[in-house]
Amino acid sequence: MEEKILTSQFEPKIASFVCTWCTYTGADLAGTSRLKYEPNVRIIRLPCTGRIDYNLIIKAFENGADGILVSGCHPNDCHYSSGNFYARRRFIVFRELLQFIGIDVRRVQFAWVSAAEGAKWAKLVNKFTSEIKDLGQFTNYQKIKRDIFLEEAVI
């Protein structure tokens, strides 16, 4: 019974790295169209998905994110013409690396959301948040983070 209450109260932290030209504008549209969506997502605006370094994803996990959403322009829509194609290749490889190390890749999602797709953005965030709620807290990473504090306490 107690556990159930805890899980229902669990509010995941989701970091979302979005490109300013498409998804950020799309999220803006969701706002101006008065669409309600889950408030768990923290949007971090970057110039392009091609700019999104895998280190940002690792840092977000280190700082306690339970899920990560990366979103940008559809193929051929990129403001810089090819940034999202490079990003796509990078994430094909990076996802496999995470999986190999033992990180659940369901926690790292990629999406194409254009500036006109405010509704898609709201739906995506809702769906992703409920998925992360089902997965629960990302205890693996939080445990190794706790180890640092223990080590520091010993020193």
Q: How far is the CB of 34 from other proteins (least distance, A)?
A: 23
109 binds other proteins (CB under 8 A): yes
Binding-site member from 6, 97, 116, 134 for other proteins (CB under 8 A): 97
Cα(74)–Cα(111) distance, integer angstroms = 9
Q: Which residue has the tokens 């969701």?
A: 30
Is the separation of the CB atoms in 116 and 29 below 8 Å?
yes
Q: Does 147 bind other proteins (CB under 8 A)?
A: yes
Q: How far is the CB of 1 from other proteins (least distance, A)?
A: 27
Task: Give the closest residue to 104 by CA, choosing from 147, 140, 128, 129.
Answer: 140
Q: Is 107:66 a contact under the CB 8 Å cutoff? A: yes
Q: How far apart are CA 37 and CA 113, in angstroms?
A: 15
Nearer to other proteins among residue 5 and residue 15 (C-beta): 15
Q: Is 116 a residue that touches other proteins (CB under 8 A)? A: no
In the chain, DSSP assigns E strands to: 14-19, 41-46, 67-72, 108-112
Enumerate residues 25-54 that contact other proteins by CB under 8 A: 54
Q: Does position 139 bind other proteins by CB under 8 A?
A: no
Q: Does 103 bind other proteins (CB under 8 A)?
A: yes
Amino acid at 63: N
Interface with other proteins (CB under 8 A), residue from 10, 82, 116, 136: 82
Cβ proximity to other proteins: between 22 and 103 the closer is 103
Q: Tell me which residue of 132, 114, 109 sits closest to 30, measured CA to CA.
A: 114
Which residue ranges make up the site for other proteins (CB under 8 A)? 54-55, 58-59, 62, 75, 82, 85-86, 88-97, 99-105, 109-112, 124, 140-141, 144-145, 147-148, 151
